[in-house]
Structures are given as structure tokens and as C-alpha cells.
Structure 1
Amino acid sequence: MNCTSLQELGVDSNGIGGKIPPIIGNLSSTNLSKLYLNDNEITGTIPHAIGNLPSLTDLCLDNNMLEGPIPLEIFQPGWLTQLVLANNQINGEIPKSIGLAQHLSIMDISYNGLQGTIPETLSNLTKLGYLVLDHNQLSGTIPPGLSCSMILDLSYNKLTGQIPDGVAGLSSLQIYLNLSNNLLEGPIPLEFGNMDKIQALDLSANKLSAAIPAQIKGCAEVEYVNLSRNFLQGALPSSIGALPTSLHVLDVSFNRLTGMIPQSLQASPVLQFANFSYNNFTGEVSSEGAFANLTDDSFLGNPDLCGSILGLAPCSGKHGHFLYIAIIVVVAIAAGLLAMVCVVDHDLMKTRLRLTAPSIQLSHFPTVQGNATGKKESDEHPRISYRQLVDATDGFSEVNLIGKGGYGHVYRGVLHGGTVIAIKVLHQDHAGEVIAGSFERECRVLRSIRHRNLIRVITTCSTPDFKAVVLPFMPNGSLDSLIHGPPCGGKPEGPRQLDLDLLLGIASNVAEGMAYLHHHAPVKVVHCDLKPSNVLLDGDMTAIVSDFGISKLVITGARDPEVGEASTSVCNSITRLLQGSVGYIAPEYGLGGRPSTQGDVYSFGVMLLEMISGKRPTDVISEEGHGLHDWAKKRCLQHDVDAVAERWLPRDPPSVLPFGPPRCEMEVIVVMVMELLELGVACSQLVPSMRPTMDDMAHEIACLRDGTWRKYRATGLKAIDQTKSKKY
């Protein structure tokens, strides 16, 4: 109450419970602009008094247990730009007073229990970039004047009526429109052809009818189109294949489409996936061109289709047709016999599993180079007791608390031998199953990998009431603090500031670690939560990727009960994470995609752009109405790369700098910044198949660091040595 100059209050990801006190609206400071209470365990309702904060711009209450309706007063602060209430238990209707928030650019109230209609006053918000209302129980029609510039997601509701022409004709929409899983009906509006910037369109699982309009070719940059599970009729327009450089994914399955599949689609040089199943298509399908990688799964339920794709009936008369049927019958019989064998084997396996129930034990971990006290271990990680951890942290005191997250706290500890460690203690609360799953996933990942740029487990401590992972202590904090400074403007955690040389080293370290996870580890690992706060810096400023609590293990060609269970948990966790992580999460996850290595590449690209620009993804969205990808692609690379490069010019006097001659500094730095921006843009493309792999990224960054940059630094050092020789 006495903080008269308070501008920002952030207590997110701390496990805070209880209710938001009504005095929040009586704070002495009239300058409070940012309020972050997300990722906690806060209950109760949102206090009406929040409307008394006149300067409030950011209000993030997502990932809590809030309930009740949205108060009318929440939209009174005239400068509100970001409202995130996702993943709570909020119910009632969206207040009509939302029309007062004229500056609102991000609004996410997904995964709640909202009912009623979408208010017409939403059409007054002309600066909206993100409008995300999916997974609620909204009904009624879509307001015709609804406007958005980045993402419009109204999926998984009970919306009825037709798609308004105004919404279908949003020429400013840049990323995706998702209206799937509703009760929308009528034809697809011709105005969709005006969406010349949109990259993904999902109208699946509705009641849309009539023909697909030929005007869809006007979506010149669309890369993903899903029109499946509707009642669409008529022929698939050949114009849909006239998107030669954009369309990568097309799904029109489960409709009533007829005629031949257009040859223009087969000729597409970029089409990666297509699904024409369960329609009434006829004619011959060739296995050439874009269809070369398709299987018969893309053409199921079309009895009048034939062709050279494996599994389709050959177009060679009745004899070939009967032969195909015979083959199918034989395969079905064989599959039935195999299924019976599998059932018997499965019952035997279940008996064995009951006799040897799986558990996380220290002896399951692989050998490491040294233990917590610096001595060699031959067979397993060192054992450590709960009492030793209590002693090392002075009873897990607040003084030794160095980090908090959604799943637990991290403490600094000193063992009796003097070794400094970090102890990640997982919460034990009502979400115990989720926490236990996170602990087991992290253990599976950490026992399967070993790389200099990935966090190394020293040991674990697990009891029914306590679970902790013991890790090396990282004295230089996280990459997030290095980029943006410590919270509340405190002193930097490490001795160095981020310069171009350090940026290249960190980017290379992270790329190498992620490339190992994706391509070279014994078990492929998808991190699922790559961002600057999860990249730690050791004593030598080497970047270490950490926090594998929601990772996904992928075993190619094998079925592992543990991995399968982990995968299910990961999907649940990543869905929860999506609601509060605008910026780093790959767009395909918002369209129902499963976690993948390409999703990690997207996160790496955003993180690389954040390192170069010094801007958080959410800040760019609020300030400029688009993401870091578009900021780099359309603004920096085309118009303003020099302005970005200038922030990387050395601030020290030239006589003591390890850089080249001043006249060429700017030229080389511009080249380096442009190369890094292009890599970040390539990684953060909308379509996963168009992104490079982490192996590619590790190679490209290593070439930049060890080629152009090393040569430049060597020239600078030589010039400085010559200058010193003349001086002395």
C-alpha cells in the first residue's frame, strides 16, 4: 500500500494460493501498469477493484483456479493492451463493457467456461492482434465486425449461423483463423479470397455446405488449409492448386466432394501433406510430383479412385480390382492372427509387469564423470539423503531460494565437502500426479542424455512425500537475465553483458545441445519449453539447456509403455503451457498439432530473434501488432537492419577493443546481424516442414562464429597489437 512509485508487480510462477485481495485497487501508486499473477494457485473471483488502476496495460491471471464471471470494471483502465485469463474456471458472459478497452491488442480467455454470445462491442477494438477464445461454451453468431491482425481463434465452442463476410474478408489477418469444432453452417464466403496475408485456415468440424469457392486462390500466402468434417459438395476447384509457392498442407477429408482431384495439386512443388479421404472422388491418381510421398491413407473411402499409389486399386480393369481385393483379404486375415498373438503376449507382459513394477531408482541412471563431492563414481550416481539436502540449504531457507516455477522451487546448496549444487524441489500438492509425472519425465530424459550443453544430473532424491533433482549450480544465472537484466532492475547475475561474441557462443551452445537431443541422443527428445529462462550460464558463460519437466521422449520404431504414458502427459502439459506462453510456442500446437522437433526449432528461432533485438515476443506483439518473425522479416531485413546492428557496436574505446578497424566494424556487424536474423526467420516459419533442423542450425551458426567472425576478430587483434607497438 505504501509503494507510491510501483509500476510493475510480477509474482507469477510461485505457487501462490488464496484469493486476490480487493485492496489491489487501492494501491497508492497510480502508475501501476503491469500486473502478472499467472501460473499460480489463486482461487476465488477477479476483484472488481482492479478497474481502479487507471494506468494498467498488462493483466495476466492465466493458469490459476479463478472462477466466477469477468467483472465489468476490468475493462475500465483506458490503456489496457494485454488481457490473459486463459486456463481458469471463469464462467458467465463476456461483458459488453469490453468495448471500452480501445487499446487492447492481446486477449486470451481460452480454456474456461464462458457462456452466452460474443458481444458486438468487440467490433470496436480495432487494435486487436490476438483474439483467442477457444475451448469455451460460447454460442450464438460471430459478430460481423470482428477484426484482428494476427490470430483469431474461436474454435471448440458452440457458435452457430454463417461465417460473416466481414470476418472472412479480414485482409489484415497474418497468422491464422481457426473456427473449427463449432456448429457453423452455410457456404464458405467468397470473401476468403481477400485474405492475402493469412498463413493458416482451419474451418474443420462444422456444418459448412455448398462448394469450395474458386476465390480461395486469393489466399496467396496460405500454407495450411483444413476444411475436413463438413458437408462440402461439388468439385475441388483447380484454383486451390494454383498456390504454387505456399500451400503445404491440405485436408478436405470427410465431406461430399466429387469429381477428379485437380492435376494442379499434383504439380505443386511445395505440397507436403494432403488428405482426400471419405469423399466421392473419381478417376486416376498418379504417384508422381507432390503425390509421390502420399500413401493410400490420403485416399481412403473413395471407392472410385484408382492409380499407382501403393494401396490404391490399379486402373487396369476388373482382374486387377479382384486381385487388389484378394490382397486386402489376405492382409486382413494375417492382421487378425497377429492381433490374437499380440493379445496373448500382452497378457503375459502384464503379468510380468505386476511382478516387477517400474520405479525410479538411482541405480537406473547412467554413469557420470564425477559425483557431488568431486569423486569418481563407477556404476551409479551418488546417493544423497533428504537430511543432506536440508543441511545443504539451511532447511530450504528463503535465503537460498534462487528460482521458482510452475512445478517447483530451485535452491542453492553447499554440501559438506564444499561443492555448490542446485536442488530442484518439486511441489507436492493437489496436482501431485502432474508433478510426479514431471519428475519421472525429467528423470527419463536426464538418464538418457549426456552432452556438454545440456544440464547434467548429479543425483535424485525421491520419497513418497519429497522429490528433488540435484543439479550443478550455474553461477551466471539465465539467458533471460542476460538479455533483459534481472527482475525489478537489480544488479546483473553474472559479470558480463551480452555482446555479439557472447551471443554467437550462446546461440551455438544451445543449437549444439538441441541438435544432440533431436538427432544424436540414444532416444530422441523434444524439449517442448525452450526459452531464455530455461537456458542457464555456467562459470565460463557456456549455455546449458535445462528444465525437461514437460519433455517428450520419442523412440522410433518401438513401443515403450513408459514412453507412451509420458507422451500422453506431455500433450496435457503442453496444452496447459500453450495458454500462457504467447510467443515461444509453435503455431501448429494451437491448431491441434502434437509436440515435435520442428516445434523446438520454432522456439529456438524466436529465442534467437529475441537475443538479437532485445525484445520479448509479447512486447513486440503489444507495441507493433505482430510477432518477432514478422518484425525481423518485414521491418529489419528489408528496411532497418542498420538500426539493429548499431546496438551491437562496441561501447569501449577502440584502442582496447578486440575488434577490427573502426571503419569496417559496422560493415561486419551488419553482415553478422543480418545472417542471424535470417536464421531466426527461417526457424520461426509457420509451416513446420519449411523450418531447418537443429543440425542445420548448429552447422550454420558454427560457420558464422568460426568463419566470418573469427577472421574479423583476428584482424582486429592484429591491428591493436600494431597500434600498441607504435605507441610504446
Structure 2
Amino acid sequence: MKDSAAMSLEQQALQVQASQLLPMITRKFFKLGYQNMAHQRISQQADNTQIYQGITRAQHEQFGDVMIKWQLSMDDCSSEFHNEAKVLRALEQNHKNLIATAPSVLAFDILHLKVLEKQQTLTLLVMPYYAQGGLAKYLTQPLTELQKHQLIMQAARLIAHLHNAGWSHGDIKPSNFIINNNHSIDTKNPALLLTDFALAKLIDPNSVESAKKNNLKTSSGTPAYLAPECWQGCSTTVQSDIYAFGIMLYEILMGERAYKIDNQSHEPIRDWAIQHCQQSIPLLPSQCRRYQLILDKALAKRVEKRYLSMEEVLEDLSYL
């Protein structure tokens, strides 16, 4: 784990690099018709300091208010951007006459430019901008039991739609659900969309991956929502999406995650693994007890004890 001094130096270096990169990227965006740009985030990939990623809010004459997810790299190594665009387009085609599952792809561009005397590839994924933000922020306000149940049902349906379209997500969590203000202006009962498909993959029903015991090497994903089998070397699946939904269900009901670690932990990976693999499933208070059986089955440590599909989860939720 990096100490605060090292992190501070990295952040300072990133700020210097960003001050050189962003003006050039801004000019490139402007030539593509984007205006009133606000760069909201820039970061480096943890395992490659030569790859920069960012999120920029902008306006476009044809598209309106947009969010641009972009990546700048020495070569075309933007596989996660290609993957996300492919999943979004597949969902749009699959559900074009049904409920919207995810944001639409307004544009996907791969550009080449010279930055800091080096030839670089700039990949852009452009989607509508949703002013009301994400579910994670929405959950910080007081909610009624009915509102919580509606959010749980909506999230479950979106994940089920994704699975039915043939994809697993790989990173289910509240911050990857956004409020679709284009279809619902009622902030008390928002419509949700599922987003961030960088880790999504096609479901292979014949693929069974063995766990690597006593190994803290994990699949990609967010540690607070990562299923026990992922901590043992297995890749994410429909069942690991269901587990992450269970963590999220608890979070919607209780306002906090089912499992937590010390923010000052020197071994956060090991601590998260212990929480998910060894800690018992939390008990809900009396006012939420009707969800306990669903929570127990969604958060089962062993995959074979867990729900087989989100359709089964929805069926049980429909009885509440």
C-alpha cells in the first residue's frame, strides 16, 4: 500500500501532466463539435502510467448535453472502451422496443494525435449526460420503504435484462446505476439505467472455472461487492453479479454496505477477502426482515447455494 507522501507526489505529477494534456484534448473535442466542455476527471491506469483516462461533460449541436469517456494511450489498447461500446449497442438493439436498460451510444471515435512529441491514440465514447447523477448519491437522502423497494426492483430488472441479453456485468454497485431523468422527472421515484460495462462479458453457460485456493489474486471489480469465488481466482459470472446485487440490496435497505473494512487498513485486499469469504451474512432488522431470505440466498458463500438467475430473485421479490 502506498504511503500518503508517495500518493501526493503521484497526484502532483498527474496534475502537471494534465495541464499539458487537457488543452490539446479540448481543442480536439472542439473540432468534433463539442462545446462548453468541463473536464470532470482525469486519471492514470494503475498498472500503466502511459494510459490516461478521463470524463468530460460537454454540449453538442446534434447530441445535446453529453458525457465523454475518453482514453489517451500510446497505442490502441482501449479494449474496455471497445467492449463497453459493443455491450451498449447490443443492449440498445436487444431492447429497442422494450424498457431502456443502459445509456445509448451517441458516438464512438478513435483519433490519432501528437501529444508531447509522441503519437497517441485518443478513444472517445460519447453518451447522454444525466443531470440527476447516480444511485449512490441518491441513496444518501432519506427514503421511504416503498421507495427502497422500487429501487431494488428496478435494479434487479435491469440486471435481469442484461443477463437475458447474454451478458454479465462484472461490477454491479450503486454508482454504476444512473438516474434516467430523460424518462422520469419524479426524483422521488426515479427510473434507473445500468452503466459502466468495461468488465462485461458474454455469458458462456458451459464455462465452469475452478477456484484457486489460498490465493488472494482477484478478478477485476470493486472489492466491496466482489463474490467469494472471485477472491479465490474465478472470473465474474451471472452468480457473482447476483452476489453483488445482494450487497447492493442491503445497502439500499440499510444505508451502508453489508461488509466493511477499516479505512486505515494496511492490507485492504486481504481484509476484503476475509469479509466476503468468512463473515456471516448480516441479519436485517425487524422492519426489513421480509428481505432476509432473499439476502441469504443472494449472498450465499457457495455458488451452488446462490440464486441461479436474476429471474429467480425477481420472482421472490414480487411476493414481498
TM range (shorter): 0.5 to 0.7
d(CA) in 1 for partners of 2:169 and 2:101?
14
Equivalent in 159, 162, 168 of residue 517 of structure 1: 162
Residue number among 661, 678, 681 corresponding to 2:293 in the alignment: 678
Corresponding position of 2:19: none
Residue in structure 1 matching 2:315, options 699, 705, 724 = 699
Partner of 2:73, secondary structure, is: coil
Counterpart residue identity of residue 147, structure 2: L
Match of 1:453 in 2: 101
On the 8 A contact 2:101/2:161 being kept in 1, the answer is no
- Equivalent residue, structure 1, for 2:223: 582
**In structure 1, C-alpha distance between the alignment counterparts of 2:227 and 2:88, rounded to whole Å:** 24
Q: How does 1:203-602 map to 2 (within 5 A)?
A: 387=29, 391-394=33-36, 396-398=37-39, 401=40, 408-416=53-61, 419-425=64-70, 427-429=71-73, 434=77, 436-450=78-92, 451=95, 452-464=100-112, 465-484=121-140, 497-518=142-163, 520-521=164-165, 524-539=166-181, 540=184, 541-554=190-203, 575=218, 577=220, 581-602=222-243
Alpha carbons of structure 1 residues 535 and 419: separation in structure 2 relative to 1, 3 Å: same
Instruction: Answer yes or no: is 1:616 the counterpart of 2:257.
Output: yes
What are the Cα deviations for residues 433-476 of structure 1, in whole angstroms up to 9, with x where unaligned?
Answer: 65x11112112212211341323222212224221111122121
Amino acid paired to 1:545: L
CA distance 1:554–1:388, change in 2 (3 Å): farther
Q: Shift in Å at residue 597 of structure 1?
A: 0.7
8 A Cα contact 1:612 1:677, kept in partner = no
1:555 Cα deviation from its structure 2 partner: 5.5
Instruction: Report the residue type matching 1:498 in the other structure.
Output: L
Could you say what secondary structure the match of 2:68 adopts?
strand
Q: Are 1:20 and 2:7 matched, yes or no?
A: yes
Corresponding residue for residue 690 of structure 1: 305
Paired residue type of 1:424 = K
Q: Residues 479 and 634 of structure 1: is their aligned pair in 2 closer, same or farther, counting only changes over 3 Å?
A: closer
8 A contact 2:218–2:232 mirrored in 1: no
Contact map agreement 2:66 2:129 (CA 8 A) in 1: yes
Query: Partners in 2 of 1:42 and 1:484 — Cα distance?
Result: 33
- Identity, % of aligned pairs? 20
Q: TM-score, normalised by structure 2?
A: 0.68
Report how far residue 701 of structure 1 moved.
Answer: 2.8
- Aligned partners of 2:310 and 2:143: how far apart in 1? 23
Instruction: Please say if residues 459 and 470 of structure 1, whose CA atoms lie closer than 8 Å, have aligned partners that are also in contact.
Output: yes
Structure (1 or 2) with the greater strand fraction: 2
Q: CA deviation at 1:632?
A: 8.3
| Letter aligned with residue 124 of structure 2 | A
The SS at the match of 1:678 is helix
| Letter paired with 2:103 | I
- 2:245 corresponds in structure 1 to 604
Displacement of 1:21 in angstroms is 4.6
Task: State whether residues 446 and 456 of structure 1, in contact with CA within 8 Å, keep that contact through their aligned partners in structure 2.
Answer: yes
User: What is the deviation of 1:538?
Assistant: 1.6
- Cα distance, 1:417 vs. partner? 5.1
- CA deviation string 1:570-600 (max 9, x = no partner): xxxx94635xx33201110111212211011
Could you give the per-residue CA deviations for residues 338-358 of structure 1, whole angstroms, max 9, x where no partner exists? xxxxxxxxxxxxxxxxxxxxx
1:449 alignment partner, SS class: helix
TM-score normalised to the size of structure 1?
0.32
Residue-by-residue CA offset, 1:77-128 (whole Å, 9 max, x unaligned): xxxxxxxxxxxxxxxxxxxxxxxxxxxxxxxxxxxxxxxxxxxxxxxxxxxx
Deviations 1:105-153 (A, max 9, x none): xxxxxxxxxxxxxxxxxxxxxxxxxxxxxxxxxxxxxxxxxxxxxxxxx
Query: In 2 relative to 1, CA 557–597 (structure 1 residues): closer, same or farther, beyond 3 Å?
Result: closer
Taking a change above 3 Å as real, the CA distance of residues 433 and 416 of structure 1, as seen in their structure-2 partners, is closer
Q: Distance in 1 between matches of 2:153 and 2:84?
A: 24
Find the aligned partners of 1:470 and 1:405 in 2 and give their Cα distance.
Answer: 20
Q: Deviations over 1:540-579 (max 9, x none)?
A: 2211110001111235689xxxxxxxxxxxxxxx94635x
* 8 A Cα contact 2:55 2:68, kept in partner: yes
- What is the CA–CA distance in structure 2 between the aligned matches of 1:576 and 1:529, rounded to whole Å? 10
Which residue type is aligned with residue 167 of structure 2? V
CA distance in 2, matches of 1:390, 1:19: 38
The RMSD of aligned alpha carbons is: 3.7
CA distance in 1, matches of 2:134, 2:44: 14
Residue 477 of structure 1, CA deviation: 0.9
| CA displacement, residues 232-255 of structure 1 (integer Å, 9 cap, x when unaligned) | xxxxxxxxxxxxxxxxxxxxxxxx
Aligned residues: 258
CA distance in 2, matches of 1:41, 1:534: 28
* 2: CA distance, partners of 1:630 / 1:594: 19
2:212 alignment counterpart: none
CA 1:555–1:630: 2 relative to 1, 3 Å: closer
Q: Which of these two proteins has the greater Rg computed from alpha carbons?
A: 1
Describe the shift of the 1:576–1:601 C-alpha distance in structure 2 as closer, same or farther (beyond 3 A). closer
Rounded to whole Å, the distance in 2 between the matches of 1:437 and 1:674 is: 43
Give the counterpart letter for 1:546 in structure 2. T
